[in-house]
Structure 1
């Protein structure tokens, strides 16, 4: 890979991983709009590693509290709100794991079309806009019930449909349940940790048996750029939604989805 390809792919991955605008919709354009060869499995793993490092670093204090509180809960020292939040993250991850495993062949073989991506961008974008306009609750990620967690978890499984956006659909569900914008976004970001670990782990397993050579300089730079762009994305996204809400992202999704449909199908 040349360095322009490394930079573009890393930044696109880092930014779109956490914004509610669908990473799959953006990454599908790269081979269409450029003459670049496929970046390879090793580079995909590196990009996921960068995104994972960013979200862990950003939420390091919350994660440490969740880990220590979970250990205390398991050793009989009581369950506090951090231990409960850790449990909610695990529970909400189960639906996407089960549905993703059972439906992986269908998703990989029949749903990665620009038609589905374009429609998903528009439909789920409008749903996000409705949720942000209709429900402006005040509950944080620490004030959820089991019912809320299960609904958000099954909503996350919808992100297996390309163009939906994992962060977009989980934030939408959380807003409809009466959570605040910040609480919905923060819980969505915490949910990304096990999902990225699982996705990156599956790619890493495939990498072990892959004969392709590893371009270590590109891997290192890609990881760093993906991580930096993802960290900045998380930080500024939380700032923007306090002032402007989700509507700018809704407008972007609808326009982008319409452009995809026009460009590929009309």
Structure 2
């Protein structure tokens, strides 16, 4: 016979799985840091952390989201590189090979950083105050990238930054996605490696780096999302050997909660990608920077109350 307390616990665990899945899906792609929210929100709510199995599976959910959203781009790359589906134009084959090289170059820094400095990153996850500090880094990167973009808009219009009106400040000047160079990919990859620290947004740092290098906000966002595919695959594969490790003090998610968390992460991740790619066409990322500052302040202040 199942104890009454266990029956009451199941809906609570399901709600927690939904909340954590939603956080993972939205904040993996919105420039506000998924790791910062997955560390910070449970801390504020007094919840234990999610299990490693749950973490791996919801990451797989966000991977599914980005793969489904960019399925056309991925099919283009696969068919043009392998030659499947007919005789494709030389220009398309060259574009596909070039894109794969750029994604490979952009993925190297995070892979090396994860392998060489695993203990450093793990230690940062143990400090909520460190997470709040890294969230402020995210806010600064977003502000800095937008400042450089605004400077380009002013130069393009022959005005000073102070002379720009609101509509002009939202302009998105910069290079298109097809102008991304190996140097761009390498620098954006370094920004992605920094995002292994909890609180530094992967999408925020990579989009900001792209804008700083002269890419348009839209081009930087698209490259950032495509670059997330190999890094999420790598993160999931890297954690697989540890799935059987005992994890005391974590939420006791069962198959139902994990399945729901994955579905929520996949659906919310897809919506987050769609939302951000539409938003960057006409709006800045400064609203996200302001939100991150507020969240960091709340999280830091809570450490003095909650201990």
Question: 1-side partners of 2:253 and 2:239: how far apart?
Answer: 14
Offset at 1:262? 2.4
Structure 2 counterpart of 1:121, from 131, 135, 138: 135
Whether 1:51 and 2:51 are equivalent positions in the alignment is no
Give the whole-Å Cα distance in 2 for the aligned partners of 1:109 and 1:128: 25
- The partner residue of 2:120 within 106, 111, 130 is 106
Q: Deviations over 1:53-97 (max 9, x none)?
A: 00000000001111222224xxxx954222211211111000110
Aligned to 1:176: 212
Does residue 1:82 correspond to 2:127, yes or no?
A: no
> C-alpha distance in 2, partners of 1:263/1:242?
36
CA–CA separation in structure 2 for the residues paired with 1:112 and 1:140: 40
- The higher radius of gyration belongs to 2
Match of 1:26 in 2: 37
Report if the CA contact (8 A) 1:19-1:167 is conserved: yes
Query: In the alignment, is the contact (CA less than 8 A) between 1:100 and 1:160 conserved in 2?
Result: yes
The one of 250, 254, 266 equivalent to 2:293 is 254
TM-score in terms of structure 2 length:
0.79
Secondary structure at the counterpart of residue 21 of structure 2: helix
Structure 1: 5+ residue stretches without partners:
none
Task: Please state if 1:60 is matched with 2:96.
Answer: no
TM-score (ref. length: structure 1): 0.90
Shift of 1:265: 4.7
Which residue of structure 2 lines up, in the alignment, with residue 199 of structure 1? 235
Distance 1:256 1:34 in 2: 14
SS in 2 for 1:243: coil
Aligned counterpart in structure 2 of residue 6 of structure 1, from 8, 17, 28: 17
Separation in 1, partners of 2:235, 2:203 = 15
Per the TM alignment, residue 143 of structure 1 is displaced from its structure 2 partner at its CA by 1.4
Number of matched pairs:
262
Worse-matched range after superposition: 214-223 or 17-26: 214-223
Q: Distance in 1 between matches of 2:284 and 2:259?
A: 35
Q: 1:210 to 1:263 in 2, by over 3 A?
A: closer
Task: Map 1:232-243 to 2 at 5 A.
Answer: 232-243=271-282
1:6 offset after TM fit, Å? 1.2
Distance change >3 Å, CA 42–CA 185, structure 1 → 2: same
Aligned to 2:86: none
| Mapped pair 1:143 → 2:179 | yes
Aligned to 2:5: none
Deviation per residue, 1:91-128 (Å, 9 max, x gap): 10001101110000111024642222222222331231
Secondary structure of the structure 2 residue equivalent to 1:147:
helix
Which 4+ stretches in 1 moved above 4 angstroms?
A: 211-214
Residues in 1 aligned to 2:123 and 2:222: alpha-carbon distance in whole angstroms:
32
